[in-house]
Every structure is written in structure tokens, then in C-alpha cells.
Amino acid sequence: MRIIILRLGHRIQRDQRITTHVALTARALGAEGMLLDSDDSGIEKSLEEASGRWGGSFYVRRIASWKSEIKKWKEAGGKVLHLTMYGVNLPDAIPQIVADAGNLMIVVGAEKVPPEMYELADWNVAVGNQPHSEVAALAIVLDRIKAAEGKDALRTQFTGGEIEIVPKKRGKEVISK
């Protein structure tokens, strides 16, 4: 399944760190890229540097209209999952998501999400129906989707990087390529 993230409502002064973490989590757990509803070039640059250093082809693309991006995605046959604490709980939604979504856009809101988003989404999904971190919610969703596909999101492979961590029981080892 092809997965991209749409970060909706990013506020440059307030959300820079958390949006960077949304993108890094998406990258590490196998998403293809992130559309950013903002004119914040810093996030784009930061993730370009991370992909160059750690490998992979994850991208961040700034967009002008989140609604038109969703409409284009859906017209091309893609499905949209909106992460919200008000949605159907993830375990109840996973079977249908994996069965129906060849291409999946996961919407991760920053500020109050416009009511229209709830209507545009194919699935409004909660990771528990309690407030918590959107980074945690995204990580759990990506891990569960990959697991339902028979893949392990925590073992995503990245090519072309400058460095690589060698997993160790104790200590640290980093290979420079």
C-alpha cells in the first residue's frame, strides 16, 4: 500500500517541532512522503537532510489547498484516513482500510480541523478515544497497517544514506558509508 501523510493546519511558530516529528515518524515507519498545509520551508529542508543522511526517498511538499489535494487524491482512486479522537477505534477500522485502500492518505491535524474534513475522509479513525499525541497516533496507525499487510514497519529498509545504525544489545555503533 502506498501511504502519504497530509499535515493539516501547521502553524509555523507553534508546530514546527511536532510537525517535524510527524514527518520523521512517517518516514521511519514507511510512508512515502508528507504534504504540508503551510509555507514552512524549514520542515521541507529538515526532512530532505534526514533522508540524505539516513537514506530513503521521503519527501515533504508544501501545498496551497488541502481540499484540492484530497479531491485530486480521491479522483485518482486513493482513500483518505483522518486521525481524530472522535473516530471509529483503530482495531475496528483496520480490516476495511487494508482491504479497500491501495493508496492511502493519512490526515494528521495540528489546529482545530475544519468540519468538512470529517466528511471528506473515507475513515475517521481514533487511536483510543482520548486526547494524546498525534505523533503517537500516527506511529500506531502505520505499525498496525503494515502488520495487517504482513510487514514490520519497524524493519523498514532505507537505501542511499550516508550513515546506518548497527543494532546492538549494548553500546552504539554507527557505520559511515
Mind giving me the DSSP string for 21-72? Answer: HHHHHHHHTT--EEEESS--HHHHHHHHHHHHHH-S--EEEE-S-HHHHHHH
Residue 38 has pLDDT above 70, yes or no: yes
* Lowest-confidence region among 7-21, 71-85, 95-109, 123-137: 7-21
- The predicted pLDDT at position 70 comes to 98
pLDDT of residue 12 exceeding 70: no
pLDDT tens, residue by residue, 129-157: 999 999 999 999 999 999 999 999 999 98
Check whether 56 has a pLDDT greater than 80: yes
d(CA 146, CA 158): 16
Four-point Cα dihedral 107, 110, 114, 118, nearest 10: 30
DSSP-assigned letters across all residues of 78-113: -EEEEEEEEEEEHHHHHHHHHHH-SEEEEEEESSPP
Contact 23, 49 (CB under 8 A): no
Q: What is the rounded distance in angstroms from the CA atom of residue 33 to the CA atom of residue 124? A: 21
Q: Is 74 helix (H, G, I), strand (E, B) or coil?
A: helix
Q: What is the pLDDT of residues 106-133, one digit of tens each?
A: 999 987 899 999 999 999 999 999 999 9
Report whether pLDDT(102) > 70. yes
C-alpha grid cell for residue 67? Answer: 481540499
- Domains along the chain? 2-176 (3.40.1280.10)
pLDDT score recorded for residue 10: 67
Distance, CA of 124 to CA of 146 (rounded, Å): 19
pLDDT confidence of residue 94: 97
pTM of the predicted model as reported, rounded to 2 decimal places: 0.94
Mean of the per-residue pLDDT values for the chain? 93
Checking if the pLDDT of 11 tops 80, the result is no
All 3 cell numbers of residue 138? 500516527
Q: Give the Cα separation of 166 and 170 in Å (integer).
A: 11
Determine which helix (DSSP H) or strand (DSSP E) holds 47, and give its type and residue range. helix 41-54
User: Three cell numbers at 32?
Assistant: 512515502
